[in-house]
Structure 1
Amino acid sequence: MLSEARVRGRIRSGRWRSICRGILLAGNGRLTRDQQLWVAVPAARRAARTTLRRLPIDMPAVLVHRTTVLPEAHLQRARPPRTTTARALVDAAGWAAGVDEAQSVLAAGCQQRRVLPEELRAVLDVLPRAPRRRLIGQTISDIAGGAQALSEIDFLRLCRRHRLPAADLQEHRVDAAGRNRWLDAYWREWRVQVEIDGAHHMDAKQWAADMRRQNDVWTSGDRILRFPAWLVRARPDEVADTVRRALVAAGWTPTVPLRHPAQK
């Protein structure tokens, strides 16, 4: 066993590193991911009892959150100790800086096949006081209904708010070339489809592919509307009005009268 003096000597010489109070690295390299996790466990426990400690520059900061509900089913059998992916995502959504970030976390987890909506629901069911519980529950329902991206969740919210009929999400189609396609939103009864385009659709190759796909849709007899994701979020009323007019033109009868754009 090394004496305190010898330990201090190795730190002063640069052979060892002092990570934070009470934790040493028997080397002088950067922390690996596993080492970061192992340092975070005792550092977080100490922070929970006292104040948050500063950690080395090559390690992400540790932010402590407390919970009174942590059943065994929410823990992984892994080292270092950690929660399940579903519990981690629900917690992250509750702790997020804003609504969009909270919904993005949940949507990304499901889109990347890290977790299923029903697993998120099971976690939420035993957390009656979870932050943003209502928002998280609605987002899980939207994802289960087919919305896998934040832009699609925004579009669903827009349709509900403007009393548009419910659309089928991620509807499977086979295009004219025999390729599998999934439509962002589709009203089968009126043969109207909506595509929400992310930033990658601005790429020249993607743009050409989008045009071919749009031509396939039109020649099949369907109507197609395309909106950039930013427009769905920034101008929801404009998007809703366009969708409404397309549905009416296709034969849908709205429950509230159409408002002319010039009217206030």
Structure 2
Amino acid sequence: MPQQSLEMVVGAPLRYGAARRAIARELAAEHGGVVHRLTLAQHGIDRFGVRNEVAAGRWFTVGRHTVAVDSPELGVVAQWWRAVWESGSGARLDGTSALLAAGLTGFEPPVIDVSMPKSSRVHAVPGVRTHFPHRLAPVVGAGIRRVAAEVATIHAAQWAVSDRQAALLICLPLQQRLTTPPRVQLAWRSVLRSPRRTLLDSVIADVTDGAHSLGELDFARLARKAGLPTPTRQALRDGPGGRVYLDVSWDEVGLVVEVDGGHHALALNPIDDALRQNDRVAAGERVLRIPVIGLRLTPERFMRQVRHTYDALRAGDGSGSCGP
């Protein structure tokens, strides 16, 4: 749209500085301190008004379309809006950036991830990484343009810098209730190609379908590789709360290993796990807990701990402490 027509969308331009500054500040408050030039024009603040405020050092241009009100230092929310406005037509937050906009905590990405239609003209923005997915996910929710949390979760894992980070980015959105296991499974099934296909197949199964996780089934093979005898699976115990099944155990030394799927971090499961573990310790057994994601990523280190504890108990020194 030509600049002249933008300026006249509402009517005569605001010529009084105090009035336009008050309006701009109110508009920018919705976007972390920044406002789009088009929005300013729609409220009677033309390019000359913007130019005067910038020349006076009260406003700051931080892109072709983005004007910062009061300070050129942009917070996280303002950076998201600038990334979407400046990257090009159809841009939307994706990956970890979309998750953060949805409320994710505990992760700080080095860049802002934005996905766009393949047909869009791209404008490079400092600190922004642009993606062109095979299928562009629709925008969801109110506020800043972003993809759904389950789609962002899958993309974040695929764009992660390491397998360990990929696993983390599958777990965090589920643990923080930003999406649900069925939604993540459905989003993953729609992916045609992925360089982390094998890893993510396992991790997503582990964290979304804990009852059928392969972690417990794989443990016997890992135990043999570590030089341990084959453990008993699904050992039955009687406790104060009734009968329980343990994942694996070596009854000859009183060692129990519980392999926790992703579901163990949800709802009241940590309480139930603690009660069950404490019952076994009170009965004189040693209990080691292993997150199934950890078993996927660093099996050797966890199995060294199990072997060390098993050897210590068999030797009768009672320490059961874990090595590095």
Normalised by the shorter chain, which TM-score bucket?
A: 0.5 to 0.7
Q: CA separation of 1:167/1:13 partners in 2, compared to 1, >3 Å: closer, same or farther?
A: farther
User: Against the structure 1 CA distance between its residues 84 and 134, is the aligned structure 2 distance closer, same or farther, given a 3 Å change threshold?
Assistant: same
Aligned residue for 1:159?
Answer: 219
CA 1:215/1:119 → structure 2, altered by over 3 Å: closer, same or farther? closer
| Other structure's SS at 1:124 match | helix
**What does 1:221-232 correspond to in 2, within 5 Å?**
222-225=285-288
Q: Let me know the Cα RMSD of the aligned residues.
A: 4.7
Shift of 1:101: 0.3
Q: Greater CA radius of gyration, 1 or 2? A: 2
Q: Name 2:152's counterpart in structure 1.
A: 88
Residue in structure 1 matching 2:283, options 179, 196, 220:
220
Map 1:141-180 to 2 at 5 A: 141-146=205-210, 159=219, 162=222
> 2:23 corresponds to which residue?
none
1:92 CA displacement = 0.3
In structure 2, the residue matched to 1:24 is: 67
Counterpart position of 1:69: 135
Q: Report the CA distance shift for 1:162/1:81 in structure 2 as closer, same or farther (over 3 A).
A: same
* Shift in Å, 1:195: 6.0
Cα distance change on mapping 1:156 and 1:239 into 2, 3 Å: farther
Structure 2, unmatched stretches of 5+, are: 1-12, 14-44, 92-119, 225-230, 260-274, 315-324
Give the distance between the partners of 1:244 and 1:145, measured in 2 at CA. 30
Q: Does 1:43 align with 2:86?
A: yes
TM-score by length of 1: 0.59
Q: Distance in 2 between matches of 1:66 and 1:6?
A: 37
* Cα distance in 1, alignment partners of residues 220 and 160 from structure 2: 24
Change (3 A) 1:109 1:39: same
Which whole-Å deviations, capped at 9, do the CAs of 1:92-137 have from their partners, x for residues lacking one?
Answer: 0000000000001111222222222221110011111134233212
Q: In the alignment, does 2:50 pair up with 1:7? A: yes
In 2 relative to 1, CA 143–166 (structure 1 residues): closer, same or farther, beyond 3 Å? farther
Q: Secondary structure at the match of 2:62?
A: strand
1:221–1:28 distance in 2 versus 1, CA, 3 Å: closer
Aligned-partner Cα distance in 1 for 2:56–2:239:
67
1:191-243 CA-to-partner distances (Å, cap 9, x unmatched) read: 853368xxxxxxxxxxxxxxx9977423336442367979x666245245458
Local SS of the residue matching 1:235: helix
Aligned equivalents of 1:83, 1:99: Cα separation in 2: 23
Conserved 8 A contact 2:249-2:257: no
- Equivalent in the alignment of 1:186: 247
CA contact (8 A) 2:83 2:125 kept: no
Q: How many residues align?
A: 211
Q: Relative to 1, partners in 2 of residues 1:174 and 1:113: Cα closer, same or farther, differing over 3 Å? A: farther
Alpha-carbon distance in structure 1 between the residues aligned to 2:82 and 2:178: 25
